[in-house]
Structure 1
Amino acid sequence: MKNKIITLSVALAVLTFTGCKTKSNMVDAPVSSENKQAVPFEGKELSGEFDATIDKIVDQMTVEEKSGVLHGTSMFNTAGVERLGIPELKMADGPLGVREEISRDNWSSAGWDNDFATYYPAGGALAATWNTEMAYTFGNSLGQELRARDKDMLLSPAINIVRTPLGGRTYEYMSEDPFLNKKIAVPLIVGLQDNDVMACVKHFAANNQETNRDFVDVQIDERTLREIYLPAFEASIKEAKAYSVMGAYNKLRGEYLCENDYMLNKILRDEWGFKGIVVSDWNAVHSTVKTLKNGLDIEMGTNAPFDKFWLGQPLIDSAKAGKISMEEIDKHVKRILHVLFQVKAMGGKDRAKGSIATEAHYQDAYKIASESVVLLKNDNNALPLKLDGVKSVAVIGNNATKKNALGGFGAGVKTKREITPLEGLKNRLPSSIKINYAEGYLERYEEKNKGNLGNITSNGPVTIDQLDPAKLQEAIEAAKNSDVAIIFAGSNRDYETEASDRRNLKLPFGQEELIQKVLAVNPRTIVVMVAGAPFDIDDVSKKTSTLVWTWFNGSEGGNVLADVLLGKINPSGKLPWTMPKNLMDSPAHATNSFPGGKSVTYAEGILVGYRWFDTKNITPLYPFGYGLSYTTFAFENAKTDKKSYTADETITVSVDIKNTGKVDGKEVVQLYMSKSDSKITRAAQELKGFQKVLVTAGNSKTVTIQVPAKELAYYNVKAKKWTVEPGNYTLKLGNSSRDIQKEVIVTIK
């Protein structure tokens, strides 16, 4: 959303680290479905029990009252009709937590002292857990906070595909893969809506860049649209039963997406059976009669006086002039009232009360973050840190103290708790160990090329990458005079931001030089990247023996990171996107089809993310699904329940996972599908199943993954339907897209 910002429930024990690398001091959040197929998450259908009541209410409404229900009459609310018992529909931003209260008619803070909220890990971090239970926890915890703030709709989750590593909203979006996207999105939405609130799933659809997002016309072939960019949205409607969807800014095939009949009527409602409401992104509406007829229900925005919105006075005038029928207007009003009844904002039923910024919710944030941290490199088992003989630790880097709950251009959260990495280490290291902190690099931008936040034709801010000599020297001295050094580098939410894409993948602020100079004086240096999107860390990866990736990771992020470094948590996060060696290896850039101008053609087609790298035999720096552990795992006895299946059956795949190391840990079993003799163009492999499992040291667990044969289908453009091609399929089991351990061949009849 084009918003201006002002510049999680199981508690885990916090133990003092003893320095011993044994399984007794590994703390892990449990996986509820370790040894069996998880129960599918299913949302609640919109009820039709209120139809007669709604008809009576709408019959009594004036055209002016109907118009008020159909557009924003304050920054985040639509109008109510007090005499008929219709409340305002109250919305809140919330990808990282429920946004602070702002004024009704401008972006300034409302100045409340009771709107502090929990800061939850960003979407990329949630996807990196590869754990559907964590997604439900995220949604449910956040839904409780939304209700405590007396809101009806959360403008989240954002589930657009990560098409380019440069994307300004990659930190908020979840993955480059449609299957992982939908498997995380569905339980999140179900958990959220279990609290009598609406999820608003965004941005529908093909909204994959910030550059020119207000007007860029996306040209995309039908098979690519269906196989890559729509599956998570379809699952959100059909499985999670999402109550609302947000239309995107951009155009698709010449039509703005908030007035796109093909997308909003033919696909969303006619094909998928969506009965909820479509809300515009802020200032994304361009017409009155067309936008309503083509499927939008609520217009939101901020640029004009509220009554001047397209669905304000212009709608009233259009109705009185006979340009639009009252029957058409009533259809949209009734949809809105249906959802208000569904979430018990109307109808007099007891509604969830919720709670906010509670210790239980901070521990929800901890639990999610604890499964998101990705161990990229750990030569010589330098991690977890062994503290025997360690008297001092150098903590280096601006990111050790940078807070990310607020920042950039977009929705943040006002919170009373955001544990930074430095604070986390202070909380967790024994008091006998001295911490030598040095800022190392300064976060600085060129004023004239700051990247005009909100000017979406910009390509991000230009950073000042020269190190300050005094800061550099301070960092070198701290590293020299400490037994261990930890550098916190990467990004922040001022640099990765909505409304602009990054200019390149280079580490900003001179960080690469800082890392090299610290490594030169203290070989016992750990490099930690804090970021939401890929960076060019090829040289850093070659030079350092230990590399950890963490995210904009919520209120407890610093404590989680310290617990990972010290071994209280065995890292189990996996990358939800591909980390390229070079930007030009990525498909949107290799095909020279980003960012386009007035129009952008998705020239890579279905080969998005790892599909491109695997099909074109391009080696990434770190592949999709990659992440190490402090233990090791072996895959054994892979098999299916049968050898052949019909297209209507479900394939049951099982594999034994043995923990061959000395500490308990979690592994993500990933199942990819490949069909080498296909009569159609396919990617080399596609993710079709995954499950996270906790295995204690020395023991084995059998993991079972069920794959409906229909998941193997491709979209048949000629027949306009999903088609399962008969023949042999190879099911590949591994712990990343580039580390396949076992294969099983099945036949679809």
Structure 2
Amino acid sequence: MKNKMLCLSAALMLVIVSCKKDSETKNSGEIAAAYEGTPMTDEYDAEIEKIVSQMTLEEKIGLLHGYSMFTNKGIERLGVPEVHMADGPLGVREEISRNSWAPAGNTDDFATFYPAGGGLSATWNPEMAHTFGKSIGEEARARDKDVLLAPAFNIIRTPLGGRTYEYMTEDPFLNKTLVVPYVTGVQQNDVAVCIKHYAANNQETNRGTVDVQMDERTLREIYLPAFHDAVVKGHAFTVMGAYNKFRGDYLCENPYMLQSILRDEWGFKGIVISDWAAVHTTKKALEAGTDLEMGTPTASFDDHFFANPLIKAVKDGSVSVAEVDKHAKRILKLLYNVKAMGKKDGRAKGSIATEAHYKDAYNIASESVVLLKNSENLLPLNASALKSVAVIGANAMQRHAQGGFGAGVKTKHEVTPLDALKAKLPKSVTINYARGYKTEFKPKKEMKFGEVTQEVKETVNELDPKMVAEAVEAAKKSDVAVLFVGANRDYETEASDRRDLSLPFGQEKLIAAVKAANPKTIVVFVAGAPYDINNVVAQNSAILWGWYNGSEAGNAITDVLLGKVNPSGKLPWTMPKKIQDSPAHATNSFPGGATEEYKEGILVGYRWFDTKNVTPLYAFGYGLSYTTFELANAKADKASYAANETITVTLDVKNTGKADGKEVVQLYAAKSGSKIERAAKELKGFTKVLVKAGSTQKATITIPAQELAYYDAASKKWTVEPGAYRFKIGNSSRDIKQEITVTIK
């Protein structure tokens, strides 16, 4: 894409972006075709019927439950292989033992560490999502996997969520825009995605038992759109049932979610895989729609609900053979569709831990870095004018491929910021490194979250005076100080929500001490979730936000620091000034008790802040550049539209600075005088464009009028309300530069 206009779809078949690529035009059909998933084929159904008819009851049921930690049981005599699965949010997980979570100890299971969901989302770039999916799909195939247990994209409802770093964004439109190309990229490698966690899985506190309650409109408009598009547009082959309950039923035994919505409405043909140990019954879970029960064995895998208890249920007549056959056939359909059965000769071979994949990881990471502040133009650094640089902080050397509870990546290649600075700065520049703080934890203790008591990790926040003195000394004797702070994957982790927004490990005091020692201090956060950085922002003029950004994270952040890459990342969530400003906390509904009521309804994330006039520290979609942009001349192609027509909006994007740069043009829709509750504005389109210094590019965003629909729970239909809609166009939800009005007839 170097020196060319970056052309992206803003929402695939929903919002298509058309822009010039030098003299070449990339039309909407080409973009849609590039990201359209391939539906499951039915061509093997007759063969599947024949194979199932030859199975014993025990063989059929062996297909429906875990027979090792990441496989079911194959049927060798009929040529039915095991379904091989692997964790994959950050890269293909190392091989583990068949009967436990212990590493298998292999020497051939190293993989590329890819950016976490927060980093990918911060690119605001569907093309990067497709690159991510294609690349990790190739790695999964190289490891002979049939199912990649990713992507995870539950809505970020609370900044404290343990999986905020992984769960992409707070906005359903942005989520679905990124998820579909990811799904397509993986599955074009003959590997099924397992989209997760279906659904309303938005907290780790009490996640195994909490009963989520919300109204139907909120469910349809906020929590289901990305799942819908992953299934209907991306044609995801597998779905993972979540741990929590929804309206009284566990998600893995929830007929409304698994049958009425997933299969009857959306036409899902694939298999539902339970999260590990998320099944609680035999008959109810099977008949509700779960196909494959996975989990850690108690005494034996035969103790799973879909194992010996299912055999007993069939023999005593409480579950029919026809019911078992239905699920067995779905398993075989999956195997045929990923070419583990049938036309195996044409199956993708894949590749793993290659230079090409490290480049993919770099491209995503370098486009995800968010410039939060640069008020004194300390950035980018002029390396040729430097004699010394203080590099301070544990995150300058921390590797993030492993850590916490959940799936990491076993990788040989993870470049840290310190590694990259040593390699990229001129040899004449002295690097003065000081760790500055320890990343230590106290023994876990019980904390009260509403009505729920949970063990939480508590950090050691007392600084070591000697380490602070070393950091201050390094800063004093250097031309500039670069602080690498934030969190790590032991602190932001599955199975535990954070207790508050505090910056851990005493870092705020360290940052203040370094700033006092050297006014030319640049603060780089490496983290996946919002923190209370009010004081840091007030006291420092240069702040970058990185992520758990994969094997090439160090090179990516260093290239931004040195100006080789102009930052173009945008925040995929709102950073509040205080936790009480966030909707789930403002309504006192997080984390709930046995029941969790989503009292904020449709006003999630920026919708709440903008509608309630609550000022965030940094807005959704915010991110600066080393150049400046002007948006002008926004106009629609017509004044009014029918509900089945498409609205085309064009505007000029002018680069008014001295560096080439990429800008994300964001379009939010608003409707005043509506007969229903609405947010002040909702993201409905965006495009990311590369504009050379001093140049102007035309950006085009098209919005099907149906994208403006709300869900009418009474009629159970999506409805486009007639009337005037204002399109607010800017570069964050709070920085609106242009407005136009269109009418829907």
Normalised to the residue count of structure 1, the TM-score between the two structures is 0.95
The letter for the 2-side match of 1:149 is R
Take 2:502 and 2:158, find their aligned partners in 1: how far apart are those partners?
Answer: 14
Offset at residue 386 of structure 1 (A) = 1.8
Where does residue 12 of structure 2 map in the other structure? none
Residue 290, structure 1, aligned to residue 272, structure 2: no
Alignment of 1:189-200 (within 5 A): 189-200=183-194
The letter for the 1-side match of 2:316 is A
> Which of 663, 669, 682 is residue 665 of structure 2 equivalent to?
669
Where does residue 602 of structure 1 map in the other structure? 598
Q: Deviations over 1:98-135 (max 9, x none)?
A: 00000000111111101000000000100000000000
Query: In angstroms, what is the RMSD of aligned CA positions?
Result: 1.5
Contact 1:117 1:413 in 2 (8 A): yes
Where does residue 123 of structure 2 map in the other structure? 129
The letter for the 2-side match of 1:585 is D
Where does residue 359 of structure 1 map in the other structure? 355
Residue 560, structure 1, aligned to residue 556, structure 2: yes
Offset at residue 460 of structure 1 (A) = 3.2
Residue 341, structure 1, aligned to residue 299, structure 2: no
Take 1:320 and 1:469, find their aligned partners in 2: how far apart are those partners?
Answer: 70
Where does residue 395 of structure 1 map in the other structure? 391
The letter for the 2-side match of 1:345 is A
Alignment of 1:67-146 (within 5 A): 67-146=61-140
Contact 1:427 1:559 in 2 (8 A): no
> Which of 572, 578, 581 is residue 574 of structure 2 equivalent to?
578
The letter for the 2-side match of 1:276 is G
Offset at residue 422 of structure 1 (A) = 0.8
> Which of 420, 426, 436 is residue 430 of structure 1 equivalent to?
426
Take 1:142 and 1:457, find their aligned partners in 2: how far apart are those partners?
Answer: 38
Where does residue 400 of structure 2 map in the other structure? 404
Alignment of 1:641-652 (within 5 A): 641-652=637-648
Secondary structure of 2:501's aligned partner: coil
Contact 1:28 1:569 in 2 (8 A): no
> Which of 292, 316, 322 is residue 327 of structure 1 equivalent to?
322
Take 1:697 and 1:291, find their aligned partners in 2: how far apart are those partners?
Answer: 59
Where does residue 503 of structure 1 map in the other structure? 499
Where does residue 209 of structure 1 map in the other structure? 203
Contact 2:211 2:244 in 1 (8 A): yes
Contact 2:446 2:455 in 1 (8 A): no
Give the direction of change, closer, same or farther, for the CA distance of 1:29–1:63 in structure 2 (3 Å limit).
farther
Where does residue 466 of structure 2 map in the other structure? 470
> Which of 561, 586, 606 is residue 590 of structure 1 equivalent to?
586
Take 2:616 and 2:195, find their aligned partners in 1: how far apart are those partners?
Answer: 31
> Which of 306, 309, 312 is residue 311 of structure 1 equivalent to?
306
Q: Deviations over 1:277-316 (max 9, x none)?
A: 0000000001111111101000000042101100000011
> Which of 125, 133, 154 is residue 160 of structure 1 equivalent to?
154
Contact 1:396 1:438 in 2 (8 A): yes
Alignment of 1:732-743 (within 5 A): 732-743=728-739
Residue 255, structure 1, aligned to residue 262, structure 2: no
The letter for the 1-side match of 2:132 is F
Contact 1:674 1:729 in 2 (8 A): yes
Give the direction of change, closer, same or farther, for the CA distance of 1:37–1:643 in structure 2 (3 Å limit).
farther
Offset at residue 268 of structure 1 (A) = 0.4
Give the direction of change, closer, same or farther, for the CA distance of 1:119–1:457 in structure 2 (3 Å limit).
farther
The alignment of Structure 1 onto Structure 2 pairs a total of residues equal to: 722
Contact 2:176 2:225 in 1 (8 A): yes
Take 2:712 and 2:692, find their aligned partners in 1: how far apart are those partners?
Answer: 45
Give the direction of change, closer, same or farther, for the CA distance of 1:568–1:30 in structure 2 (3 Å limit).
farther
Alignment of 1:573-722 (within 5 A): 573-722=569-718
Q: Deviations over 1:452-507 (max 9, x none)?
A: 9xxx9636311111100100100000001111000111000000000000000000
Secondary structure of 2:665's aligned partner: strand
Take 1:447 and 1:631, find their aligned partners in 2: how far apart are those partners?
Answer: 47
The letter for the 2-side match of 1:691 is T
The letter for the 1-side match of 2:396 is A
Contact 2:522 2:543 in 1 (8 A): yes
Contact 2:5 2:691 in 1 (8 A): no
The letter for the 2-side match of 1:143 is G
Identity of aligned residues (%): 66
Where does residue 272 of structure 2 map in the other structure? 278
Take 2:491 and 2:473, find their aligned partners in 1: how far apart are those partners?
Answer: 28
Residue 525, structure 1, aligned to residue 521, structure 2: yes
Take 2:509 and 2:491, find their aligned partners in 1: how far apart are those partners?
Answer: 19
Contact 1:459 1:502 in 2 (8 A): no
Unaligned ranges ≥5, structure 1: 1-9, 13-26
Contact 1:591 1:604 in 2 (8 A): yes
Take 2:224 and 2:385, find their aligned partners in 1: how far apart are those partners?
Answer: 55
Where does residue 379 of structure 1 map in the other structure? 375
Offset at residue 658 of structure 1 (A) = 0.7
Take 1:478 and 1:51, find their aligned partners in 2: how far apart are those partners?
Answer: 69
The letter for the 2-side match of 1:359 is E
Secondary structure of 1:670's aligned partner: strand
Secondary structure of 1:76's aligned partner: coil
Secondary structure of 1:584's aligned partner: helix
Contact 1:451 1:462 in 2 (8 A): no
Take 1:309 and 1:704, find their aligned partners in 2: how far apart are those partners?
Answer: 53
Contact 2:241 2:275 in 1 (8 A): yes
Take 1:95 and 1:451, find their aligned partners in 2: how far apart are those partners?
Answer: 29
Take 1:531 and 1:45, find their aligned partners in 2: how far apart are those partners?
Answer: 37
Contact 1:654 1:703 in 2 (8 A): yes
Q: Hey, which bits of structure 1, 4+ residues long, moved more than 6 A?
A: none
Secondary structure of 1:467's aligned partner: coil
Contact 1:459 1:501 in 2 (8 A): no
Take 1:85 and 1:583, find their aligned partners in 2: how far apart are those partners?
Answer: 55
Contact 2:383 2:425 in 1 (8 A): no
Offset at residue 451 of structure 1 (A) = 9.2
Contact 1:399 1:489 in 2 (8 A): yes
Secondary structure of 1:211's aligned partner: coil
Give the direction of change, closer, same or farther, for the CA distance of 1:230–1:448 in structure 2 (3 Å limit).
closer
Offset at residue 70 of structure 1 (A) = 0.3
Where does residue 19 of structure 1 map in the other structure? none
Offset at residue 339 of structure 1 (A) = 1.2
Offset at residue 636 of structure 1 (A) = 1.3
Where does residue 218 of structure 1 map in the other structure? 212
Give the direction of change, closer, same or farther, for the CA distance of 1:37–1:501 in structure 2 (3 Å limit).
farther
Secondary structure of 2:643's aligned partner: coil
Secondary structure of 2:273's aligned partner: strand
Secondary structure of 1:460's aligned partner: strand
Q: Deviations over 1:135-193 (max 9, x none)?
A: 00000000000000000000000010000000000011000000000000000000000
Take 2:613 and 2:630, find their aligned partners in 1: how far apart are those partners?
Answer: 26
Contact 1:198 1:244 in 2 (8 A): yes
Take 1:37 and 1:99, find their aligned partners in 2: how far apart are those partners?
Answer: 38
Take 1:115 and 1:28, find their aligned partners in 2: how far apart are those partners?
Answer: 37
Contact 1:458 1:501 in 2 (8 A): no
Offset at residue 390 of structure 1 (A) = 1.6
Take 1:354 and 1:118, find their aligned partners in 2: how far apart are those partners?
Answer: 13
Offset at residue 732 of structure 1 (A) = 1.1
Contact 1:450 1:461 in 2 (8 A): no
Contact 2:414 2:552 in 1 (8 A): yes
The letter for the 1-side match of 2:271 is I
The letter for the 1-side match of 2:582 is S
Where does residue 23 of structure 2 map in the other structure? none
Take 1:29 and 1:190, find their aligned partners in 2: how far apart are those partners?
Answer: 23
